[in-house]
Amino acid sequence: MSHYTTAQRLFSPERLWPTSLPEWIDVPEDPDPDEVLDLLDDQYAKAILRQTRDTALSAKEISTACDISVSTVYRRTERLVDCGLLAERRIAQSDGTHHSTYEARLDEVTVSLTDDGFEVTIDEKPTGDLADRFTDMWEGL
């Protein structure tokens, strides 16, 4: 529970400038190879990755561009984010709510056959614009 006064809450930087500090959702280090392969074989997941390759889109924008229901977009984006194939960026709104945009994270996927089964390596591409990446790097120091 926060211990801010009403004035501090009303005039906090987050409330006055809510869209200035987007939040990127962390992804796992080692994705499940079976889940990644299942997603890469899924027509909706592939469409979402293709559509978000060069630009971040909201679920509604993805739904329109890919002709997929919004509920299906949310189910697939959740799985894609969990596997590290898609970046989710939550953007706060002035009314206290937020919305998310999604952008493909993968540049290349390599599947290797090992003694233990399959191993999946994902080469990531930078997501977000340069200013956001710089801010994320700076805040991580």
Question: At 119, phi and psi to the nearest 5?
Answer: -125, 130
**Domains located in the chain, CATH noted:** 23-139 (1.10.10.10)
Q: Write out the E strands in the chain.
A: 23-24, 57-58, 86-92, 98-104, 106-114, 117-124
pLDDT of 119 reads: 87
pLDDT of 47 reads: 97
The residue assigned the tokens 């978000």 is 52
Structure tokens at 61: 């924008």
pLDDT of 41 reads: 94
Tens-place pLDDT, residues 42-88: 999 999 999 999 999 999 999 999 999 999 999 999 999 998 899 99
The pTM of this model reads: 0.68
